[in-house]
Amino acid sequence: MQRRFALTLGILMGCGTAIEVETSPVRASLQDGQILQGLVGTTTVSLRTELGTHQIPVGDIGELEPLEGNVMSNAHNRVKVWLRNGSELVGEWADPELTFHIEIDQTLVPVRLPIEEMQRFQLRDGETWPTEGAFAVTTSYGDDFIVNPRKTKIKLSNAMGVFSPTLAEIQSIAPMAEQEKDWRIALVNGNVLIGTLPENEIQFFLPKGPKQITVPLDHIVSVNRNGWNDMLWKEPNGGSRGVSASGWFDNSRYRDTKTKAKKYDVPES
């Protein structure tokens, strides 16, 4: 997301000195029908999850919504964060405060945003769909995130040795149903390895959002190349994807694609 620096915030507020504030355009929809479009100076959202507390850059976020009900107070700060590449992260919004300003008569006016009454929090810019060959990871906590395959390594050991291929080298990876604790890794070059993952967890590196997320093996539901089905890669490229008519990010295309993908089994190579 492109951000801009509001160098004259202090002057506009009448304090006489320029204050440098990093800002992002945002829109907050409230339960009573009010819609506030302005600038937020908060640069990260802190998300407390079962997998640790993650600091998510605001520029990577497309939308933030209550996990239950239609307003934040119903969800008790439990939220789903949609990243602009379609990743979904679930957790508690820790310290939900925003430095928020709206423009009135060419002046930036501070707003005490009632987070508990917020239904939807959107940012500008559209989707950044992952390239073909990217991996999607789902967890038992409800997360569904895109992984950087070149930075993420999977360590596997067996009687022949220890192997640590990157996800970019892996065609498919899954636990062996008939062999407890054993995993099967099929590499792009044709090799197939079966063994244990000695670290009992996988550290995933992300291209957007938190830099990394470590997931225990027993909470990994799937790790799939092109994990949202082949139809994901048939989506046409375009600068206006995922942007509503009003110009704000809209997650509906991601939702539609994932819903359709669940009707099919992801083929295993």
Q: Label residues 149-188 b or e (16+ Cβ within 10 Å = b).
A: bebbbbebeeeeeebebebbbbbbbebeeeeeeebbbbbe
Q: What is the largest CA-CA distance in the chain?
A: 72
Could you read off the pLDDT tens digit of each residue along the chain, which spans 269 residues? Answer: 444 444 344 434 444 444 444 578 889 999 999 999 999 888 899 999 999 999 999 989 999 999 988 888 888 889 999 999 999 999 999 988 888 899 999 888 998 888 899 999 999 877 888 888 889 999 999 999 999 999 999 999 999 999 999 999 999 999 997 667 899 999 999 999 999 999 999 999 999 999 999 999 999 999 999 867 554 555 544 434 555 556 789 888 888 888 877 665 544 44
Instruction: Note the pLDDT of residue 147.
Output: 95
What pLDDT digit, counting tens, does each position of 90-136 carry?
Answer: 999 998 888 889 999 988 899 888 889 999 999 987 788 888 888 99
SS3 percent helix, strand, coil of the chain, rounded to 5, is: 15, 45, 45
The Cα-based distances of 197 to 25, 136, 177, 182, 202 in angstroms read 43, 19, 15, 7, 9
Residues 167-184: pLDDT tens digits?
A: 999 999 999 976 678 999
